Structure 1
Amino acid sequence: MRETPARFEPCGIEEMIPEFLVDLLDAIREEAAEVGRGLHPDSVRELRGLVRIMNAYYSNLIEGHHTRPRDIEAALSCAPVDDRFLAEAVAHFRVQEGVDDLADAGDLPQPTSVSFIVELHRRFYEEMPEEFRYTEHGFKRVEIVPGAFRTDEVQVGRHLPPSPDRIKSFMAHYEMRYRGLTRGATGRILSIPAAHHRLNYIHPFLDGNGRVSRLVTHAMIQRAGIGAGGLWSISRGLARSLGDRGEYMAWMDTADMPRQGDQDGRGNLSLQALIGFTGWFLTVVQQDIRFTRSILDLDSTGARFAAVLMDEVEKGASGPIASFRKGSVLR
């Protein structure tokens, strides 16, 4: 079973959607529609630049790489960046910016297509200086080829991803399944958590799988119409979670669980575990939407938004962050 694409079924919740998930989907749609309502488009464009910095910061944090938002901001204007962690953050910012530009133009392709996923990986590592395109694998230093599937066996914790020669088959199945599962308003949102987990389950690249999966998730959120123009951050939500910061990895591990008997779906993996993970993930989405709504009041939008986001992790800022705190971008 390990080397067949059916290994990561079920890919979604396809039959009876639990009532609590239906209610959660409705609430997410309604609450996301209110985020940033009434803001001038220029303010939205500038404010979401801060969100990209925070997304890059939190994505780094999930990987165990510590950077500061103000250093990321400074690095965005420096070329080349001589710190690996800052280079990763800058690359994340730039790739997410490209995704947002495509969404703005109405040209965002299917985020779960193989070509789009490969392009995200390629762009991320091409944004990195060449000296940082290496990783440690099997006690040796291995080059990361932008946009290339891994050619080595890997183990991620207890999980053994598919063998390298099977990755193309698994990814083709992934694309096919989520092409169907993302049809309709409900499917576009409901499928986001499963697509996020299953891409990490396949682990198609030697390095960068977590980052790419979060960028894919960001793109799926924009395509689903709940991204509020990029004004909230999925990486922030996943890094902070609902209770403690270890929840994300714990839930990802739970969603790997094999099927638990005849009442647990018909796939190789547990349907009930996927339902639980989906509920947790979408609650994180709702929580971050609510967080953003709570600080986007029109009386002091720029100052509140920048202050709350940045003061989560540091004190003091300069450049565009400081100008936001003064409310200079309000129209």
Structure 2
Amino acid sequence: MKKFLFFVFVCFLSSIIFSDLGKYEGWEKTWVQHFLTKKEQKEFKKLKTEKEAEDFVLLFWAKRDPTPGTPRNEFKERCEMLVKIADKDYSTEKMKGSLTDRGKVLLLLGPPFARKEVAYSDSEGNLKGEGVNMTESQSAFMYGKMDVWQYRKEQLSRLPFELPWQELVVEFKKEEGQKDFYLNRNLANVLKAISLAQEGWIKSPDLKEVPEWAKTMGVSPFILLSEKILKGEEPLKKDTALTTYGIFYDSNNQTYGSNIIVFDENSPIKDQKEVNIFLQILDKDNNEVLKIEDKVAPQQTIRGFYLDRSFLISEGNYKLLQIVGKDDSSVLYSNLIDINVPNFRNWE
């Protein structure tokens, strides 16, 4: 028996010593835990190297991509947006909002149609009235607050999986003395909805290996394009704009640059409410000094349209790589120009 226990201990110790997941260490404990199936949780625990973990993560996202084969993963974008909301609205002193029960439901089911906070006054959670302002007789029996979320049919029908209810009500309790709301797990349909959502977000369950289109997931297609341009592997598309120039100015002892690209009135940019603009600034040794990727709305002028994106920079001579593209990663304009940023503080 002692030998057996020693063997088990050695195996356990070996799994700790010889597992090096690098930057993916603890990944399964972040908000992605809400989407991991039990099978995936077991598989992740068996991983030994950073490369294995990277492939697992890429496959995780690829399986849930609603538009496989395209540069974007709308599922990932949706989650990242909701994580920001959850972290802002539901965080406590000890836990990020995206890791709380409310963060979990927000990520799995989306924002509710309506929500209200009520007070309850018995251990069964029976509601005594809306709001938290209780009478003296009510407050004598009050146990805490309840955050009630309501999902309607039209919302549930927009989810990429089917739930067998016309309406869903989710309750989160916060008893007196507690710092956060926790899910009322006495509602069987809510637990069922969470389980269905975890499986329902998977669009390609049969994927066993990371497909080629998923290997660059999380890396901007414009970053990949910039690398090709700088290596001379991709031609510039600079003839689609009338002109481009930089304006530099000093404010509060800081130098600002404003990158301006002008397009004619027939440019396809006129049909875009917003475009992606990618700017990369390199020094004389081709070392990256600054990189910006942002969405910019085209502004109309007499000659056509222009884009303007400002940035902070020190004086010196640089190369500026400009890429303008649409959400589908198609490129509207690209150019590589030299810029000279003056030293305003030496001017008299």
State the TM bucket, normalised to the shorter chain: under 0.3
- TM-score normalized with structure 2 length: 0.25
Ranked by relative contact order (alpha carbons within 8 Å, sequence separation 6 or more), the top structure is 1
- TM-score normalized with structure 1 length: 0.26
Greater fraction of residues in helix: 1
Q: Which has more radius of gyration?
A: 2
